Structure 1
Amino acid sequence: MLILTLVSVTVAALLLARLLLMRRELGRMTSQLRRYNKGTTGKKIDVSLFDQRLEALAGEINRQSDLVVDAEARRRRTENELRQAIANISHDIRTPLTSIFGYIQLLEAEPITSQEKHEYLTIVKNRTKRLQALLNDFFELSLIESSDYQLKTERIEMNVLLSDILVGFYDKFNERNITPDIRLPQEAVAVYADESAVRRVVENLLINTVKHAAGHVEICFGHKEKTAELRIVNEAKELTDIDVRLLFDRFYTVDRTRSAQGSGLGLSIAKSLMDKMNGTLTAELHGGNLTMTCRWKLTLAGEAV
């Protein structure tokens, strides 16, 4: 009986000591977390008492802290992007509006010749078209990125579609004295995608190429295993690695003064459409050459939609 009593007392003492140690460790963890939350330290919670449950709790708290930090970083990044986007679109809209208002004042304030009137009206018309294009691009991107925007997936013969698009750009390339090196496969290549979206993506990429290309332009289409791939390569010696990383951002233009006629949304629209089609659009810079690459799921010959 005495031995049993001694054993019970010893076990109770050990349990009490263990409980006190865990209580002290919980207090220590609480103090660490409080300092971390206040920003007085960047050190996360560590556990000095060996206990699997306490270590698991500390690990989960540290992971939650990481999630909070990441969420805050994303929030700040989104706010900065939105602030920059608002500044850019405000600038892009204000510029043609100011010009339109100025020429309307000239038309109203002074007696002018028929030739001057025609010139002013032409400028107003062109500025109005630019403003309309800006607003249309902004609306289209907002629509594409909404969760309700749906695409129609169907089997598309890419050889036929690309040939049709490229013919439409013949005059634009010719005006820039550019003869693109076009390589399309002899065999038919088809993809699962939305035809109007694919056309919009390719046209936006070609518009960007025609606008900024200098010298050699290469347009290649083919397939690798289960993927169809379109590559557009052009000289772009004025671009930097930073520019390439930002090419698909909303309203981004390489022209820092934003004096060009583009909205800075064409590549963003193309990227959003490719994402919607479960495809990819990437940009790489190698040796002064910009390579834009689109990839779609390949449809095998005879395969049903």
Structure 2
Amino acid sequence: MVTKLKNLIINDSKAKFILLLLLFLLISILFEAVYDLNNNFFYNINYYYKEFTIPYFYFFGTPLHLSKVELEFVCIGVILSSFLLIVLCFILYKKNKQTKVKFLENVISLFSKVKIELTLILILILLILRFHAFTSNKMFYNTNLIIYNFIIISIVYIIYENIKYNNYNLKDMSITYVFFSNLLSVYNRKTINKKLAIVFLISIVMQAIIQNMVLIFFMYIYYAEAIAIVILFTLVNTVFHLYIYNFLSAKFNYINNISKNVKNIENGDLKYKLEVIGNDEISDLSKSINNITDGLENAVDSSIKNERMKTELITNVSHDLKTPLTSILSYVDMLKNNDFDKETVNDYINILDKKSQRLKLLIDDIFEASKLSSGDVEFNITKTDIRELLIQSIVEFEDKIQNSNLDFIIETPEHAVFTMIDGKKTWRVFENLICNILKYSMPNTRVYIDMFIKEENIILTFKNISNDKLNLKPEELVERFRRGDVSRKTDGSGLGLSIAQNIIELENADMEIIIDADLFKVMLTFRRVN
């Protein structure tokens, strides 16, 4: 039974909270009882109440009439019993110290946001109210005083726990420290915070002088009350000024921090980000500066990428144009300097025709890609059955598909599917994607072309297994002159995906490339219309 009771008291958060409140109450009672014994029995009662009984309302209970001797014994009994109970509660509290009380932790956390000067003012107000209750109460009628003692002790305990919560760092808990550190700092002579601190100090001193003049005027009438009220108002006024200063100082420090850190951006560190504090115009300024640096960083990255692409463009164009041109020049030179029979001449002419067509196709692709990139292309956007357009595109390549050793699996809705596109341009997209599949797919594998409707969107997917290892990122594949085979063994300009993406974007649709090992997938998303 004792063990269960012990475990109940030690491991229960409610028990710890009740023990703490009881400890504060007993300390309050002990203080008042000791005060009564020391001041009333040793002084006043011995002189005024030698023979009379005293109306008695000692702390709690109903009024009684006790003699001096009886009252003295009661007072001593209260002192001894409260002291013993305090010791007992303290021992139990220490054993229960590790138990967490959520309500108490929330109160301490709440007070951690309040500067220590405000809590000290609260204690001062309670002391003034207690003094007023002390002067107006009858002797031994101490209930109000005990309540004030209890509240003051509770606040002092919370302050102490709050100081522990902040690792005994009083600097962060005090607004006075910030004020005087800015006022006395030799490094802040020209800063706004220094000037602001001086202005606030003058204001505090002037108001203190005025309040002391009021004290001099009223001190002859209500001496004690006037002193207490003036001290209270002086402290409240000072803390009020310090709070305003602390708020403004934090904002000025934030502005100063932005000003200093912007120099990092000025020096070219575009990856530097300003700290965003709060939710006001200054924090919006920090966000805007961060957005500007993001834009500048993207612009610089884009510029570097464009320069790299220009270099690659020149290299790739030179290579792709040089190869057919060299072949054409070689065959022309052979035809000019040699006397071949008619059959050989015809073979060479056929080769020249193929090389010329290859060169023409490459030049046409370069010209088309250039126009699409600049946006200098007219689109005839009309309501189009994209399902029918896809089927026509596949039928157009039927012979090549049958000769490709690829198994095409096509899934589309049974009904017409309409969207707003340029039919000819979108047909070119399908043509480029199907050509890529025929060129770069691993032989004897399946190719999946699917169309389905998802909410208000039409989604087309083209999936195939690549014959070559895909070591490129999806975004790199849509760069100009990029090919799926790095060795460039296949015919093609490397512009197909780039042209397709530009067309899709200009039609306000989306194109996404997904690479999963050797699986290559292109997903087109169009807006459905009725």
TM-score bracket, normalised by the shorter chain, equals 0.7 to 0.9
Cα distance change of structure 1 residues 56 and 265 upon mapping to structure 2, 3 Å threshold? closer
- Alignment of structure 1 residues 259-298 onto 2, 5 Å: 259-286=489-516, 288-298=518-528
Contact 2:270 2:293 in 1 (8 A): no
Structure 1 stretch 128-137 or stretch 170-179: which is displaced more?
Answer: 170-179
Return the alpha-carbon distance in structure 1 between the equivalents of residues 273 and 425 of structure 2. 48
Structure 1 stretch 28-37 or stretch 270-279: which is displaced more?
Answer: 28-37
Q: What's the counterpart of residue 331 of structure 2?
A: 103
Deviation at 1:103, TM superposition (A): 1.1
Equivalent position SS for 2:407: coil
- Tell me which of 366, 370, 387 is aligned to 1:159: 387
1:84-120 CA-partner distances (Å, limit 9, x unpaired) = 1121111111111111111111111222222322222
1:273-296 CA-partner distances (Å, limit 9, x unpaired) = 110111112121235321211111
Gaps of 5+ in 2: 1-198, 206-250
TM-score normalised by structure 1 residue count: 0.80
Contact 1:85 1:251 in 2 (8 A): yes
Q: What's the counterpart of residue 314 of structure 2?
A: 86
Q: What's the counterpart of residue 186 of structure 2?
A: none
Contact 2:440 2:485 in 1 (8 A): no
Q: What's the counterpart of residue 174 of structure 1?
A: 402
- 2:377 aligned with 1:149: yes
Name the structure, 1 or 2, with higher relative contact order (CA <8 Å, separation 6+): 1
Contact 2:385 2:419 in 1 (8 A): yes
TM-score normalised by structure 2 residue count: 0.48
Return the alpha-carbon distance in structure 2 between the equivalents of residues 179 and 44 of structure 1. 53
Task: Calculate the aligned-residue CA RMSD, in Å.
Answer: 3.5
Return the alpha-carbon distance in structure 2 between the equivalents of residues 34 and 170 of structure 1. 63
Equivalent position SS for 1:88: helix
Cα distance change of structure 1 residues 223 and 260 upon mapping to structure 2, 3 Å threshold? same
Cα distance change of structure 1 residues 250 and 55 upon mapping to structure 2, 3 Å threshold? same
Which AA in structure 1 matches 2:325? L
Q: What's the counterpart of residue 206 of structure 1?
A: 434
Cα distance change of structure 1 residues 35 and 122 upon mapping to structure 2, 3 Å threshold? same
1:152-192 CA-partner distances (Å, limit 9, x unpaired) = 22111223222222211110011112231122221221112
Deviation at 1:77, TM superposition (A): 1.3
Percent of residue pairs bearing the same amino acid type: 26
Return the alpha-carbon distance in structure 1 between the equivalents of residues 457 and 269 of structure 2. 51
Deviation at 1:211, TM superposition (A): 1.3
Return the alpha-carbon distance in structure 2 between the equivalents of residues 42 and 275 of structure 1. 29
Which AA in structure 1 matches 2:375? S
1:190-224 CA-partner distances (Å, limit 9, x unpaired) = 11211111211111111111111221111112211
Q: What's the counterpart of residue 112 of structure 1?
A: 340
Contact 2:513 2:521 in 1 (8 A): yes
1:227-273 CA-partner distances (Å, limit 9, x unpaired) = 11211111115242525332211111122233421001111111111
Q: What's the counterpart of residue 248 of structure 1?
A: 478
Return the alpha-carbon distance in structure 2 between the equivalents of residues 155 and 280 of structure 1. 18
Structure 1 stretch 119-128 or stretch 159-168: which is displaced more?
Answer: 159-168
Q: Which has the higher helix share?
A: 2
Aligned residues: 290
Return the alpha-carbon distance in structure 1 between the equivalents of residues 405 and 343 of structure 2. 32
Cα distance change of structure 1 residues 39 and 106 upon mapping to structure 2, 3 Å threshold? same
Q: Which has the higher strand share?
A: 1
Deviation at 1:37, TM superposition (A): 3.7
Equivalent position SS for 2:520: strand
Contact 1:249 1:268 in 2 (8 A): yes
